[in-house]
Structure formats: C-alpha cells, structure tokens
C-alpha cells in the first residue's frame, strides 16, 4: 500500500534554530501533500497544502514566512520552521494522497509525524 515517510521523528533544538522536516511518498507520486499540526490531546490542524512545482496554499492564521514549504518533486515536500521558538513546539504530520489509482476517493496517507521541541 501507499507509504508516506517523514523525517526526522524527533527534533530538540535551541530557540532561534531553523528546522527542516521532510515528507516523502515512497511508492506513489503525490502532486499534493498536506501539512498538519497537532497539539496535545487535540485534533489535526491543517497548516497548508503543498503543490508540486508551485506555491503552497496556507490556511488562515498560518505564517507563510515562518513555515516555509517546498514541494520540488512529485515525491518530496519539506516544511521548514524558521527561527523556531518554544511556542512552535508541536507534533507536525504530513499527508499525501495517491491520486494515480482511483482518484479522489482514495484516502490520505500519513507520515509518522515529527515531534518538535524548542528549548
């Protein structure tokens, strides 16, 4: 089945550091990937939709200069948290849908998430 790989799983770094998170579709091509943020014991918050070869679409209230998204190929999207601060600490999850088999009724597949802790 479709697999989404997310790396790294855990990041602990100092305030002011920029952190890059990678999301790869391993056995399918994903023209669109989604980035979510999840706070403890809460639901997923969609941050942005990443489109291959074009600019990402950010949800209202998400700072595009803070959360840089690059979707340079059909199998890779990256999220960079720039100049991270403690309030950026969270669980970030990427997701992609294999649109090549069956179209829009296919489920989204999720990476295992990245736990980001900013000290």
First-to-last C-alpha distance (Å) of the chain: 37
Can you give the C-alpha Rg of the chain in angstroms? 14
| Residue 60 binding other proteins, by CB under 8 A | no
Q: How far is it, in rounded angstroms, from Cα 52 to Cα 73?
A: 6
Q: Which is nearer to other proteins, 11 or 93 (CB)?
A: 93
Query: Taking a C-beta distance cutoff of 8 angstroms, is the pair 59, 46 a contact?
Result: yes
Residues 16-55 close enough to bind other proteins by CB under 8 A = 31-32, 34, 41-44, 46, 49, 51
In the complex, which residues of this chain contact other proteins (CB under 8 A)?
Answer: 4, 6, 31-32, 34, 41-44, 46, 49, 51, 91, 93, 95, 97, 99, 103-105, 107-113, 115
């Amino acid at each position: 089945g479709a697999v989404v790989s997310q790396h790294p799983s855990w990041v602990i770094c100092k305030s002011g550091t920029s952190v890059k998170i990678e999301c790869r579709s391993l056995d399918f091509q994903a023209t669109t990937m989604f980035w979510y943020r999840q706070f403890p014991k809460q639901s997923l918050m969609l941050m942005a939709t990443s489109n291959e070869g074009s600019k990402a679409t950010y949800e209202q209230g998400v700072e595009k200069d803070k959360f840089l998204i690059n979707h340079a190929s059909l199998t890779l999207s990256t999220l960079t948290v720039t100049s991270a601060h403690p309030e950026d600490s969270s669980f970030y999850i990427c997701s992609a849908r294999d649109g090549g088999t069956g179209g829009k009724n296919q489920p989204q597949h999720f990476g295992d998430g990245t736990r980001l802790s900013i000290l």
